[in-house]
Structures are given as structure tokens and as C-alpha cells.
Chain A
Amino acid sequence: MLAKRIIPCLDVRNGMVVKGVQFRDHQVMGDILEYAQYYRDTGADELVFYDITASTDGRILDKQWISKVAQVLDIPFCVAGGIRTINEARAVLNSGADKISINSPALENPQLVSELANEFGSQCVVVGIDSHENNNDYYVYQYTGDIKKTRATQRRTIDWAIEVQNLGAGEIVLNCMNQDGVKNGYDVQQLAMLREVVHVPLIASGGAGQKRHFREVFREAKVDGALAASVFHSISIAIPDLKNYLRLENIEVRS
């Protein structure tokens, strides 16, 4: 049976792993390769590296660390942040990344999703969506890497998810901004709503604080994977413990 994926997300800035709360106040946590090897050895199913400065600065991602990560990892990984052209995507994939994830650039130019899918195949094109609740509905936010530039778009989250899926996205990561960094659990209601319309893999992001939050999101929102950062980095949840717990709850995870 296909296992539910546990996906640590590493926010990267200037070649170091950082962590902020609600997208602010980034604090240096440590070296990328040390984190990559630690997660490889403790049973992470996949890793996401997100360059949190690239997209808002209009900078091109530094590729050297990607190749170094690819040399040590024997599990898949995805690189996000500031990829806005076919050539930038190719450089990331050529460096050894399995997938690329785009967020703000897809909002600027939705055709980029189809161009990437046509060039590299849908399976390596992930679209990240930052979603926030407004007036009892959910809207997509843009440029969330920098609090000064973060802005709401006019797009409803559900409409955008359907659109990127139709454009050829092979996976969608929904980051529920209301929940991000506050450890009260994933936004199960919003994810379940998206699950109804998303027929490609759907990954939950934002809000993990306890092991039961993973059980809830897998069982109630039927997502394919759950992404988290600080609870894994701080080892307040150790991945082997989490997987044992989920297995006892009859949720399929990779041993």
C-alpha cells in the first residue's frame, strides 16, 4: 500500500537552515548537509528545501548546495524558492533535485506551470499555495517570504488549486498560513475541502505540533503527505516515534 509521507521542510537562507514563526523573525538553526543526513537516517520520506529569500529578492538560487545535498541523500527531495524560468528549473533538476516547487512565480505567470510540466513532466512540478482565511473563505497570498511584501491576491485558494492542477501541476502543497508556526494542528477543514477537488498528490503544511495532528490530517483530510519544520528540527517530535504512533493508529507509513 502507498505510504503516507512524512516530509520535513528546511527553510534555507544563505546556505543555512533557518526557522521563523508566521513567516517572520528567522533564526539560524544549522548546516544544510547535517540536517539532510540527520533526516535521511531517521526515516524522513522526502525533504523540501525552501529558499525563503530568493523569490522576493528576485535572486537566482545558489545551486551548489543542491548538488551536495543530492550526493548524500538517497530519498527524494524538492527545491522551492525563486524558480521562475525553465532554465532555472533545469539547473535545479540537473543538480540532482527530484522536484521543483513554485509559488509566487506561478501566480505572476500561470503558464509557467504548463511550460515546466511539458518540459520536465508533471511528476517533478510542485505548486506551493500559501492560503489565509478571509471573511469565511480562503485566499491565496503572494511573496510570503518577506513580511513587508506579503500580499493577498484576489484568487480563492480552491480556484487556484483547480487551475494549477489543470495546468499540469503534479503535486500541490497547501500551506495554511493561519496555522503556520503556531502548533495547533493542521487546518484539516481547509485541506479536506481541497482534497475534494485535488486529484494529484496533496501535501499539508502549517500547524503540526503534536503526533495526533498527523493522524488527524491523514485520516480526516486524506492528504498524501504532511510537511512540518520546527517540530522536527527541535526534535519535539522524532520521526521514528511519529511513525510508530501512526502505525499503531493503522496509518500506513514506511518502515
Chain B
Amino acid sequence: MITIVDSGGANLASIQFALNRLGVMALLSANADAIKKSSHVIIPGVGSAESAMRRLKANSLIPVLQSLTQPVLGICLGMQILFDFSEEGNVDCLGLFAGRVRKIPSNNDQLIVPHMGWNTIKITQSNLLLKEVPDDSYAYFVHSYAAPVGKCTLASTCYGEDFSAAVANANFYGVQFHPERSSAIGSVILKNFLEL
């Protein structure tokens, strides 16, 4: 069973539908046992880092998510909260990746924020998550905060400066873009994740 962690927000249907298109069903749940028993866990991105961490805490899910050993994929904000800390609300996050998530600098309004639309990903490290994904593929992004490039970075994207577009550390994976809305490439990445 694949579980999408129910973070209490709207807009989770598109991930479910994307998985359905791959022929798999996903459970939407905030139940610790259901999450622990899943073969794959997806942490979606809804709202702000501060509100997401507050909801995980309210559902006692922080230690549960930190101790998972099966493949876990954070999407957008779901990737950001895998890091140590987010400046969005100045909140401690799950600490599964080293680094701070920072606001994208608008360079005195020269750069449009949020970073919204299709941008290219530069693959910097080969990983099964990005199997058969060509370098410079376009993916769909919507975000105002971003994680730095580090040794866990699989792919980076440049918007004003380089940030992590995809990361991996042991069984934990994250993508800043929305694979469920990134056309055929997004579908390949979701499929790769399910095959991990």
C-alpha cells in the first residue's frame, strides 16, 4: 500500500490521480500505523512549513516519519520539511537532510516570486529516482522557498541562484517540483519512486 500523508490541506487529489494514471491506488492517511505499514510514503506539500510541521506534531507523526525505512518522497513543501530548518515561519523541520530552507531572494523585485512555471532540472548525481529522465528536462515548480544545493542533491534548478530540485539520502527522497503536474517526465519520476 502507498500512503499519502494527509497534511490536512486541499489539493491532494492531483497526486492521487497521478498515481491512479500509473495504475496504483494510494491511501490518504494521517494514521501512524497505516503510514508505518506502507510500502511507499509520499509527503505532499500544502500550506506553509510552519503549519505543516504543526499538523505533523498534532498528529504525533514527527518521530514516525523520521524513523521510516521504506522509500519516502517529499513533494514541494513536503521536500522542504525533510530539511533541518525552514525560514518560512522559522521552524525546525524533520532533519533528514542537512541545511536550511530559505526564501528565494527577489533581488529587489527583479526576480518574480513565487517561482511559478516550467523550469529545467540539471542532473548532478545519478540515482534510480531519475532513471530515464534526460538532463535539462522541464518540470513544473510553484514555490517561494528553496533548499540549498548539497551533497544529497540529485538535480538542481537555477532561478536567481541554484537550488535543490531533487534530493536523496538513504530511503528519503524529495522533489521541489510537482511530478504530478510535470507532464510525462513527472510520471516517469513517480514510477521510478514506486519501483524503489
Contact = CB atoms under 8 A, between A and B. Distances in A.
A93 B182 contact: no
B20 interface: yes
B18 A74 contact: yes
Contact of A94 (B10, B116, B184): B10
Interface string A142-174: 000000000000000000000000000011000
A251 interface: no
A208 to B, nearest CB: 18
A209 B186 CA distance: 32
Interface size class of chain B, counting residues whose CB lies under 8 Å from the partner chain = 35 or more
Contacts, number: 97
Contacts of A40: 183
> Secondary structure at chain B's binding surface: helix, strand, loop or mixed?
mixed
B114 A3 contact: no
B17 A75 contact: no
A245 interface: no
A15 B24 CA distance: 29
B117 A96 contact: no
Interface of B: 9-14, 17-18, 20-21, 46-48, 106, 109, 112-120, 138, 140, 142-144, 158-159, 178, 180-184, 186-187
Interface of A: 1-3, 5, 40, 45-46, 67, 70-71, 74-76, 89-90, 93-98, 120-124, 170-171, 199-202, 224-225, 254-255
Given A2-B117, A224-B112, A254-B138, 13 more contacts: A3-B118, A70-B14, A70-B17, A74-B182, A76-B178, A76-B181, A96-B14, A97-B11, A123-B116, A200-B112, A200-B114, A202-B112, A225-B117
